[in-house]
Amino acid sequence: MGRVRVLVGTRKGAFILTSDAGRTNWHVDGPHFPGWEMYHLKASPLNPDRIYASQSNGWFGQIIQRSDDGGRSWNPVDNAFVYDGIPGTHMWYNGTPHPWEFKRVWHLEPSLTEPDTVFAGVEDAALFKSADGGASWRELSGLRGHGTGSQWQPGAGGMCLHTIVADPTNAQRMYVAISAAGAFRTVDGGESWTPINKGLRSGEIPDTDAEVGHCVHRLALHKANPQRLYMQKHWDVMRSDNGGDSWYEVSGNLPTDFGFPIDVHAHEPDTIYVVPITSDHHHFPPDGKLRVYRSKTGGNEWEALGRGLPDANCYVNVLRDAMAVDTLDECGVYFGTTGGQVYVSPNGGDNWQAIVHDLPPVLSVEVQTLP
C-alpha cells in the first residue's frame, strides 16, 4: 500500500503532512521552527528519515537543520556558506560590478547515490556541496567561475540558484537553474559547468537569445528519459530532447505561459504539469480560477485541471519549488499556494482536494513515498 509524507516550507515555519495511500485523511504536524522562513525541506532518497531543512530570516540569517528520524527531532548542522577564494563580482541592477554576498539557501538536494551528500543552491547564486550530512560545506566554484558569472544579474526576486536536478541514470550529470542567469549543466559531478540556454528567448534582456541572462524558473526531468528536460521559464514552457543542448517552446494552447513550477508524472515521462499565472506583473491565475494544466504529450497540447480547485476569486501564486509528485501506483500531484493552501490530487490531476487551507504562504512542497 504505502504512505506519503509531504514536507511543506512556508514563510513562517515548516509543516509535515502525512497520509496513507488513500491520500484523503491527513495528519498535520507543525509548525516546526515557527516564525522562520523555511525555503525548502527535502529528504534523502537513500535514507527517507533523513530530512534537510533550510531555515532563515532577515534578522538572524541562515540555519540548516537535519532530522534523522523523519522530522520528529531536528539538529542544526553547519551554516557557513563561504564562497571559494576571492568571490569576485557579478553584475548589479545598475550594471556595475557587485561582490558576491551570501543571503540564503533556496534549495537543498540530497544525492541520489551518496547517503551523506547533499547539495545546496544559494543566493547570491552558487552551488555548495556537503559530503558529511551537512556538517561542512564547500562551494563547487566551477559554476560561478566558468566564464559568464561576472555577467549574471539578479532579477526582481534576487540572484538565486533555486533548482538542482540530478540525472538518476548518471551521478556525474546535474542541471541547475539560476534567476536571472539561466540553466547550466555539469557532466563531472559539479566541478565544471556549461551554460545550456540555446533556444531560449527572453524579451526582458537586450539580446533576446543571449548565452546567459534568462530567467529560468524551474527544470524537471523523468528518469525514464533523462535526456529530455522540461523548463518553466519566466515566460514560455520549454523542452529539450538532448540534455539541454537546445530548447524549443511547448507552451502550445496554454492560456498564459508565465508560471513558476513544472513537474513530471511519476510513471509517464510525457505527462507534465504547470500552473499558468496571468503575468509577471499580476502573479495570480487568469480570471481568478486556479487551474493546473496537464500535457500528456510532453507539451504543446494542454488540458485544464480544475475539479476541486477554486473556480472564482482566487488570487494566489504557486512558487517554483511548491509542486511535487509521489510515486504511488496512481501518481499523486501536490502543490502549495501563497494563500496557504496545499492541494493534492491522488489521481494524476483529475481531482483535487485541499489538505490544509490556512498555512502561511507556501514556499516549497516535497513529497516522500514511504513503505
Partner 1 sequence: MVSVTVTRVRVVLPGPLKALLQINSEVSLDVSGDVSLRAVLDTLEQRYPTLRGTIRDHGTHKRRAFVRFYACEQDLSLQSPDDLLPESVRDGREPLLIVGAMAGG
Q: Which is nearer to partner 1, 50 or 104 (CB)?
A: 104
Euclidean distance between CA atoms 191 and 173, whole angstroms: 11
Euclidean distance between CA atoms 283 and 291, whole angstroms: 14
Hey, how many other C-beta atoms are within 10 angstroms of the C-beta on 148?
21
Minimum CB distance to partner 1, residue 210 (Å) = 34
Q: Which is nearer to partner 1, 33 or 273 (CB)?
A: 33
Q: Which residue has the cell 551521478?
A: 171
Minimum CB distance to partner 1, residue 76 (Å) = 4
Which residue of 7, 8, 63, 318 would you call a contact of partner 1, by CB under 8 A?
63
Euclidean distance between CA atoms 273 and 146, whole angstroms: 32
Q: Which stretch binds partner 1 (CB under 8 A): 55-63, 85-93, 155-163, 305-313?
A: 55-63
Which residues, other chains included, contact 168 with Cβ-Cβ below 8 Å and sequence gap of 6+? 112, 223, 226
Minimum CB distance to partner 1, residue 75 (Å) = 9
Minimum CB distance to partner 1, residue 298 (Å) = 44
Euclidean distance between CA atoms 318 and 345, whole angstroms: 15
Which residue of 12, 18, 45, 57 would you call a contact of partner 1, by CB under 8 A?
57
Which residue of 58, 95, 203, 206 would you call a contact of partner 1, by CB under 8 A?
58
Could you give phi then psi for residue 125, rounded to 5 degrees? -50, 120
**With CB under 8 A, what is the number of residues at the site for partner 1?**
16
Is position 62 an interface residue for partner 1 (rule: CB under 8 A)?
yes
Which residue of 59, 86, 156, 206 would you call a contact of partner 1, by CB under 8 A?
59
Q: Which helix (H) or strand (E) holds 119?
A: strand 118-123
Euclidean distance between CA atoms 232 and 213, whole angstroms: 15
Q: Which is nearer to partner 1, 134 or 182 (CB)?
A: 134
Minimum CB distance to partner 1, residue 58 (Å) = 6
Which residues, other chains included, contact 192 with Cβ-Cβ below 8 Å and sequence gap of 6+? 142, 146, 186
Which residue of 1, 60, 94, 313 would you call a contact of partner 1, by CB under 8 A?
60
Q: What is the 3-state secondary structure (H, E, C) of 153-172?
A: CCECCECEEEEEEECCCCCC
Q: What is the DSSP letter of 361?
A: P
Minimum CB distance to partner 1, residue 95 (Å) = 25
Restricting to residues 13-52, which ones interact with partner 1 according to CB under 8 A? 33-36
Q: Which is nearer to partner 1, 121 or 276 (CB)?
A: 121
Euclidean distance between CA atoms 247 and 336, whole angstroms: 28
Q: Which is nearer to partner 1, 73 or 253 (CB)?
A: 73
Minimum CB distance to partner 1, residue 30 (Å) = 14
Q: Which residue has the cell 549574471?
A: 152
Q: Which is nearer to partner 1, 2 or 76 (CB)?
A: 76
Site string for partner 1, 69-108 (x = CB under 8 A): -------x--xxxx--------------------------
DSSP sequence for 213-273: ---EEEEEE-TTSTT-EEEEESB-EEEESSTTS--EE--TT-S--B-S-EEE-SS-TT-EE
Structural contact between residues 126 and 105, judged by C-beta atoms closer than 8 angstroms: no
Q: Which is nearer to partner 1, 48 or 158 (CB)?
A: 158
Minimum CB distance to partner 1, residue 60 (Å) = 4
Restricting to residues 138-197, which ones interact with partner 1 according to CB under 8 A? none
Euclidean distance between CA atoms 66 and 235, whole angstroms: 35
Euclidean distance between CA atoms 43 and 320, whole angstroms: 18
Site of interaction with partner 1 (CB under 8 A): 33-36, 57-63, 76, 79-82
